[in-house]
Amino acid sequence: MTTLQETIHPQAKAREWKAIVILILLIPVLWSPPFLFRIFLFQPFNIPSGSMTPTLVVGDYVFAAKYAYGYGRYSFPFAPSWISGRFRATDPEYGDVVVFRTPKDTAVDYVKRVVGLPGDRIQMRQGQLILNDRPVTRVALKQAFAGSTCGVDDGAKAKRWRETLPNGASYVTQDCVHNGYYDNTDVYTVPPGHFFVLGDNRDNSSDSRVMSSIGFVPMDNLVGKVTRIFWSLDQHGEPHMERLGKVW
């Protein structure tokens, strides 16, 4: 017993001193402006899929404001799993483009648009969003080339609509297929403490309509609000300068 203690004890002390030295060396990094900027203010993300076309496309790089909805478990890397709730919590508004984690896959960041808040009734009818039994206002726009965002021929065109939510939030959605798989749904009633999201590319987005994978999203799973496209590259890797700016 004595021999074992004498063997382990010096090793434990050595590990403690190493940890202290590492922490001391990390202090300048932890308090550096870039680190604080990313942890507490804005976090960069890149867009890997076309589910938010035309608002966000593959090749876009965006900033998400982490302070917009308060800070919770998913606001910081390597946060312990026992953390719950949000500090300085604020709920999203209709039309916000948000970054979040799903209860079924907390390792992946998703980007979608908020269209339903606690207590709301959401439904899709023939491709039109119904909010609390009222069709959301939408105006048909000129068709546009969809490229690969509809999963069909690159030369195919898609319908586009300008949709306006009750609070005035306005944005453009893409309709790839008439009466597609997600264009007609049951009524979803958003439970307390949750929100409902859709992708702007309505026929090619896995979102809250898919209860088996995303469904209703807990408020505590918010990471931040997407505010700005700060860089964008087209399919050939060339800068897409006209896309830089605020996300609506």
Q: Which of 66, 75, 112, 205 is catalytic?
A: 112
Catalytic annotation on 112?
A: yes
Contact 141, 158 (CB under 8 A): no
Using DSSP's 3-state secondary structure scheme, residue 150 falls into: helix
Contact 164, 170 (CB under 8 A): yes
Residues 6+ apart with CB under 8 A from 42: 63, 64, 65, 66, 224, 227
Q: What Cα–Cα distance (Å) separates residue 64 from each residue in 5, 27, 49, 225? A: 51, 25, 17, 5
Residues 6+ apart with CB under 8 A from 178: 127
Q: What Cα–Cα distance (Å) separates residue 105 from each residue in 61, 100, 167? A: 22, 10, 31
Identity at 200, one-letter amino acid code: D
Catalytic annotation on 32?
A: no
Q: Which of 18, 32, 49, 51 is catalytic?
A: 51
Q: What Cα–Cα distance (Å) separates residue 184 from each residue in 13, 95, 136? A: 64, 21, 15
Contact 177, 203 (CB under 8 A): yes
Q: Which residues carry out catalysis? A: 51, 112
